[in-house]
Every structure is written in C-alpha cells, then in structure tokens.
Structure 1
Amino acid sequence: MCEDLSPARSNIPASESPPGSPPHAGFRSAQPQGVTVATAGPILSGWPRQIAWSEFRDLERRPSGESENAQVAVELRPSRILIERENGQLKLGNVTFRMDINRSDSWVVAGQKSTALLAHEQGHYNIVGLCYRDLVAELQRLRASSQSQLAREVRRIMGQYDRLADTLSAEYDSSQETDHGRNPGRQKAWETQIQNCMQTGTGLSKPA
C-alpha cells in the first residue's frame, strides 16, 4: 500500500498575502521572491530510482487493521520557491520538488520481506512518481496574471495530481488488479504499463 504524503497535505496552503507582502505560492514554509531572470523552472528529483527495504521500518507483525505486509509512504518537498515574470505574466522559477520515502510511515513485516513484495512497493513509488512527473511538467507551463492567481493554480494542480495518485494506487492494490501484489499476472501487467509510461512520457492509466 502507498500512503501519499504530498505537499498539498503536508504543507498547508497559505492564505493570500496582503498587498506588498511576499506570496507563498501555495506553501506554508517557502518564501518566494520575484525575479526577472528566466530559469528552467520547477524540476523533480528523487525519482526515478530503486527503493530498498532499508528505507522501511521493520515490524514484528502487521499493524492492527492491516491486511498486507508492507506500506510505503511517499512525500514531496519543495525547495525555496521563486516567482519570475515572463512577457507580463508570472510563473514559478527555480524550485526543486524532492520526492522520497517517509521512513516513519513506511513499514514491512520483517519476516515477510521478499523480492516480489519489494517490487510491488516499487510499483507504488513509481505510480506516485509518474503523477508527480506530470505535476511538475504542468507547473513548468503554468502562467498567471497575479501572485494570488499563481498560488491558487499551484494548489489546484497539486490537489489534482494528489487525487490521481491516490486513485491509481488504490486501483493498483484492488482485488481486481494486483490484490496487493498477490496476483502475479496483474502485477506484471502494471509493471509493464508503468515502465512504458516512464519511457514514453505518457500519463499512467490502468493496464488493459
């Protein structure tokens, strides 16, 4: 299972700032500053990569109410955010969205570690990675006429991809699909679909 700790959840969207105060572009902690020099804009780091059991906490048994043997929790953290002006509009400047595993919320039953189970959790990580790849690409294209509009659009887009990641992860785990990795045929179909999307740049959908 994948528990998604995305920035739209872990960073509370800031209220619109009074005139003259620095905007937060939808984040509580970052302090954007307006600049005029064009940069590459937002980028995603920490994905794609192979995850490892060393990034999970070992448990003796499943937590109460759980029906599977592992859970990976993904988090996305933005660096300090800059806002740039381009042809009279505003856009996000240099910001790195770091995607990683939140170890405190990721766990595995120590006696149940296997290559197949880790591959299933890798699938969760890649599903979220594909969603955040597309999130960052959309943020790169985002333009707005004001700082408040830019912040609203950033929050909207992040929420949209959070929900998509949740939906695809739940579908991946469903009894009709991989059944938490217990259905090897559907597990292979998802892995193939995920790899194709990573290689071609297309958006992820349920494999046929």
Structure 2
Amino acid sequence: MSYSRKPGTLDEAPDLETASPMAPVTTVGDSGPVGMKGGGGTCGGAPRLRGWPRSISWRRDFPDEREERPSDEDEDAQIHPEAILDDDVSVCRTDGRFRLGTFGVRLMIVAGDTWVVRAAKTDALLAHEQGHFDISGLDARQVMRDLAALRADTTEELQRLVSERLERSRTDSQAMSDRYDDETDHSRTADAQRRWETAIREAIEGGHALRPPA
C-alpha cells in the first residue's frame, strides 16, 4: 500500500456504514481548506467524519481484479484510502481568535489505485487490507480532532496551520502503513497480523491514536 502513487478516481463510500469486526495509506487529498470562508460568524457544530469505520469487501472496494501482480510489486492486493477535507469549510471567531467552524472529513478509496489478484482473494488478505483502511481511518479521526482544536490570530495563520497538519498526516499515515506491511510481511506473518489487528481494534474502540504492537 502506498499513498505516494498517482491517485485515480475517488470512489466515495456512503455516509452510513456498518462498523467492521476490527471496529473492521491518513493521507489527506487537499493541501489546505479549500473554500474556507467567513471569519466572524457563529461557530458550527461538531466536525464530521464520514465513510469510516466500515468493513471493506472484495466485491465493492476492489473492482480492479488482475490475473497477476504488477512486476514491481511483492503483494497480491493494494488499497489506497484518502482522507479528504470537505471543500466547504467555514471559519469563525471565538474569544478573539480564529478557528474552523463547520467542516468535515471523508475517508474514501482511490479506485484507480486499488486492486487485487483474482486468485489471491482470501479472508486473511482482506483482513490485512482492512487494517490499511483502518489505519487511515484512525489517522483521519485524529486529524479531524486536531483541526477542530486549532486557534490562530489571523485567517492566514489558520490556513497555514491547517495545511501543515494535513501535510503531516500524509507522512505519519504513510509511515504507519509501511510499518504495518513490514512487520506483517503483507499478512504472511500470522502472529504479527493478529497483534496489529488487536492494536487497531483497541484504538478504534478506545477512541485513541493507534499504538503499534511491541
């Protein structure tokens, strides 16, 4: 799994999803809050995270079935989740400082960069790809919380802080996803895979950041 490859078509998931058994690449597509508007209005409600948690499936989320893996790959499937900041982001002022007002984050799958080798579609491999999706979801949840907590003296400073947090998300999520692949050998090391699934489930259910297994 990689977040650095050229994105393809974004395949949006519905807002209402069934949480995965693990409770089942974040990267964020925008460099900053596109459509940021306002600056003195009433602050909106709580931010929204859509498209996660949910269980992924071969049929729905991996429409690109291949006969063999690409020559430069050592895995039989790849999923590319993207955490996207909504275009319509408002700014409000609280106690003389600027913050984001109404905004939301969506976890989507880049369909053009998500594929599976047809003969390799097993439950174990799908569980591994679910882990990648959930790592991105956990990062998206933390990004949403961090963006909501930002405060700045000017809207320009707020824009800069938002952009920096989104960029850090790309780096952090990629590093976590790479570590997951390295330690599980793309799901081939069963004990490591189970430890990661437990850590991911605990982070989702506990509402905290992912703590990789020791």
TM-score of the superposition, structure 2-length normalised? 0.83
Per the alignment, residue 81 of structure 1 pairs with: 89
1:132 is aligned to 2:135: no
Per the alignment, residue 73 of structure 2 pairs with: 66
The answer as to whether partners of 2:85 and 2:106 remain within 8 angstroms in 1 is yes
Match of 2:125 among 101, 107, 117: 117
Alignment of 1:52-201 (within 5 A): 52-53=57-58, 54-56=60-62, 57-79=64-86, 80-174=88-182, 177-201=183-207
The answer as to whether partners of 1:44 and 1:136 remain within 8 angstroms in 2 is yes
Task: Tell me by how many angstroms 1:132 deviates.
Answer: 1.2
Cα 1:31/1:143, change in 2 over 3 Å = closer
Structure 1 unmatched runs, 5+: 14-25
The answer as to whether partners of 1:2 and 1:125 remain within 8 angstroms in 2 is no
Q: What is the alpha-carbon distance in structure 2 between the residues aligned to residue 204 and residue 74 of structure 1?
A: 17
Please state whether the residue corresponding to 2:99 is helix, strand or coil: strand
Please state whether the residue corresponding to 1:61 is helix, strand or coil: coil
Tell me which amino acid in the other structure corresponds to 1:49: R
Q: What is the alpha-carbon distance in structure 1 between the residues aligned to residue 122 and residue 51 of structure 2?
A: 23
CA distances 1:85-126 after superposition (whole Å, capped 9, x unpaired): 111111111111111111111000011101110000000011
Q: Which structure has more RCO (C-alpha within 8 Å, separation ≥ 6)? A: 2
Q: What is the alpha-carbon distance in structure 2 between the residues aligned to residue 164 and residue 120 of structure 1?
A: 19
Per the alignment, residue 23 of structure 1 pairs with: none
Please state whether the residue corresponding to 2:172 is helix, strand or coil: helix
The answer as to whether partners of 1:2 and 1:74 remain within 8 angstroms in 2 is no
Query: Identity of aligned pairs, percent?
Result: 36
Q: How many residues align?
A: 190
Structure number with greater Rg is: 1
Q: What is the alpha-carbon distance in structure 2 between the residues aligned to residue 34 and residue 42 of structure 1?
A: 17
Please state whether the residue corresponding to 1:33 is helix, strand or coil: strand
Q: What is the alpha-carbon distance in structure 2 between the residues aligned to residue 135 and residue 5 of structure 1?
A: 8
CA distances 1:51-82 after superposition (whole Å, capped 9, x unpaired): 11121111111112001100000112222111
TM-score of the superposition, structure 1-length normalised? 0.86
Cα 1:144/1:31, change in 2 over 3 Å = closer
Q: What is the alpha-carbon distance in structure 1 between the residues aligned to residue 94 and residue 53 of structure 2?
A: 30
Per the alignment, residue 17 of structure 1 pairs with: none
Per the alignment, residue 18 of structure 1 pairs with: none
